[in-house]
Structure 1
């Protein structure tokens, strides 16, 4: 049994999108839970087994998988027929895993700190800057539609997600990539799903 603990319009929305892209919605149950929101609304849900009361959380036969990048890699490997992951032994496996880790270790901290107005030279030296992130993405997307070439992967699904949330950065090559990702069936399904299941 596989269950995704999800709160609408949160970081777990991208996992709902992934489930649709993987054609895994019949195999994975979605449990709607509440979470504490940045605006002070919501609250910790006793039905949510996440140790921090957050989402997303995937539970597979009693085993917990947490953090978006880990869940995305796990699910893409679990449902390989969709072709959103890169299997072990493929030359692109290393870059694929690196993009997933880079998101968690660099992109999300930098964009979150910017959103809350925190800036310090030590943070820039540790995590890089928004400009460096955009330069890296622009370089990767030059002359190809997706991060790993012509094929949309779970790395694109994860990496584009903060721009779908916060807004496109205004760099044409990145903006076009974000639009391509937002126009995917998974992104459209997740938006419709969340609209039918508003957050408490």
Structure 2
């Protein structure tokens, strides 16, 4: 049995969307937990085993997996027949794992730094910046509708999720805007959002 520690309207929302997209909800025990919120609400839940009190945290047979990109990779590898992943040996596997890692190593950091108003030569050299990240997305979407190959993957759900929270940051690039719309309008994505907004 899989257990997902989830806080509605948080980074773990995209994991719940992936689970729904994969059709594996019956295999997952969902544990709703509290986390500290940017507005000062919420707080650390002592029942949440995440070492930093965050979400998502996935438990499977005594092993814990944390960080969105790691959880997505774990789930799609655990269910290799799901079209949301690219299993070992698949021609698009390298692109798939690269995009998942790029999200956590580049994309989210540059957007967090921009939203926080932080600029420093060290961060510029390490992560680059939002314009460079946007150029990377635009280049990838110039020849296909999805990031990895000709089909949607968990990498698309992960990376587009940033724009679900910061719609005003969606670049004025028709390729990116169309891709974001394709990702965010999927029934698995919209249904989870609707349910969480109704809580």
TM-score by length of 1: 0.95
* Stretches of structure 2 lacking an aligned partner (at least 5 in a row): none
Does the residue aligned with 2:188 lie in a helix, a strand or coil? helix
Structure 2 match to 1:169:
171
Report deviation, 1:185: 1.9
Measure, in 2, the Cα distance between the counterparts of 1:194 and 1:175: 24
Pair 1:188-2:190 in alignment:
yes
Work out whether residues 86 and 93 of structure 1, in 8 Å CA contact, stay in contact via their aligned partners in 2.
Answer: yes
Report deviation, 1:121: 2.2
Root-mean-square deviation (CA, aligned residues, Å) is: 1.1
Work out whether residues 2 and 58 of structure 1, in 8 Å CA contact, stay in contact via their aligned partners in 2.
Answer: yes
Work out whether residues 83 and 153 of structure 1, in 8 Å CA contact, stay in contact via their aligned partners in 2.
Answer: yes
Measure, in 2, the Cα distance between the counterparts of 1:3 and 1:189: 20
Q: Which runs of 4+ in 1 moved over 6 A?
A: none
* Stretches of structure 1 lacking an aligned partner (at least 5 in a row): none
Pair 1:65-2:65 in alignment:
yes
Pair 1:16-2:19 in alignment:
no
Structure 2 match to 1:179:
181
Equivalent pairs, count: 197
Measure, in 2, the Cα distance between the counterparts of 1:85 and 1:59: 19
Does the residue aligned with 2:145 lie in a helix, a strand or coil? coil
Work out whether residues 99 and 148 of structure 2, in 8 Å CA contact, stay in contact via their aligned partners in 1.
Answer: no
Report deviation, 1:192: 2.2
Higher RCO (C-alpha 8 Å, min separation 6): 1
Does the residue aligned with 1:84 lie in a helix, a strand or coil? coil
Structure 2 match to 1:6:
6
1:142-199 Cα deviation digits (max 9, x unpaired): 13110123200011011111111111222111111000000112211220231243xx
Structure 2 match to 1:136:
136
